[in-house]
Amino acid sequence: MSKYIESVIASTILDRHNEKLTLKTLENMVSSLNKYNIPIMIEHDPRIPPIGRVLKGYVREREDKEFEAVALIEFFDDTSEVENNGKELKVHDSIDQLTIGYSFSHKNESDLNEIREIEFLLNSKALYEAKKSADPISIITLTGAFILGGIASGFLNQFGADIWDLLKPKLIRLSSKHKTNNTDDLLIFRILIKKINFSIEVEIILTNPLGSDLDDFATNTTHKLDRILEELISVNEDIRKIVFEQKNNSLILKYALTNNGIPLFLNKTIDSFL
């Protein structure tokens, strides 16, 4: 049986990252919570399957006249007993161009200059993806829309081999912020696949990547995805998100999420789907 708690998830108080949310931001946040299934992650680490989902939220005024967003959270126990709440899983909107995204740890002038150069190369606007935790993971994303079965052919066609050669060292520098401590840097290739009435989001995570890892993604992983995704998606028509980790020249299926926010296929090798 699931467990339920109410928790304050954000407020207008200045936080430890020296950032302050507006009341309007809280209201927009709660609106999204009430419209979509939002997974509950452990320290915002996308490599770990969600442990629950947000059911609903509301904004309330504090005694000090500040405001806070409160969420009702469902923690999974037996996912077979989780009820369908009629909401959709929140996935990224389909886009026309490859777009770079960055996390809080990249909000410094050196990284932002690098990101602006990538914006120019991709001819698209960067997206700040706020993720705050006790020890924030550094995350860089590269998001693009692709046709199912045409990922390998479409990847370099999005910008060309020359641009890819310019992008690689910049992505590596942005994904090398914590080489001297125990915090991981993640580079996530996010693939959006448009279906008739919905989109499916596929993430391939590279942890502390090297240049050879990016080459492996472009030349090998994209072909593996073309061979596996169509069959994998057909296993459950309710799948809306799939997360892989590329590690040591292997591709590991970390989990998939249904529209209801329920994780499937935990830590599977892709061989069983080929």
Is residue 194 assigned to a domain? yes
- Residues 62-108 have pLDDT tens digits of 999 999 999 999 999 888 788 889 999 999 987 778 999 998 889 89
* The pLDDT value given to residue 114: 96
Please indicate, yes or no, whether residues 149 and 230 belong to a single structural domain of this protein. yes
Domains in the chain, number: 2
- Residues 150-181 have pLDDT tens digits of 999 998 888 788 999 999 999 999 998 655 56
Q: Is the pLDDT of residue 5 over 80?
A: yes
d(CA 84, CA 155): 36
- Residues 206-224 have pLDDT tens digits of 999 999 999 999 999 999 9
Please indicate, yes or no, whether residues 120 and 223 belong to a single structural domain of this protein. yes
Please indicate, yes or no, whether residues 24 and 55 belong to a single structural domain of this protein. yes
Please indicate, yes or no, whether residues 75 and 158 belong to a single structural domain of this protein. no
Is residue 92 assigned to a domain? no
Non-local CB neighbours of 123 within 8 Å, separated by 6+ positions: 97
Please name which of 128, 133, 102 lies closest in space to residue 10, comparing C-alpha atoms. 133
Give the rounded distance of the alpha carbon of 203 from its chain centre: 7
pTM for this model (two decimals) = 0.91
* The pLDDT value given to residue 81: 80
* The pLDDT value given to residue 135: 54
Please state, rounded to an integer, the average pLDDT across all residues of the chain: 90
d(CA 151, CA 80): 33
Is residue 138 assigned to a domain? yes
SS3 72: strand
Share of the chain above pLDDT 70, in %: 93
**pLDDT-derived band at 248, boundaries 50, 70, 90:** confident
Please indicate, yes or no, whether residues 124 and 40 belong to a single structural domain of this protein. no
The residue type found at 163 is I
Partnered with residue 102 across adjacent β-strands are 128, 140
SS3 84: coil
* The pLDDT value given to residue 223: 95
Radius of gyration of the chain measured on its C-alpha atoms: 19
Residue, of 173 and 19, whose pLDDT is higher: 173
* Domain extent for 128: 99-273
Is residue 75 assigned to a domain? yes
> Which one of 43, 59, 85 terminates a domain?
85
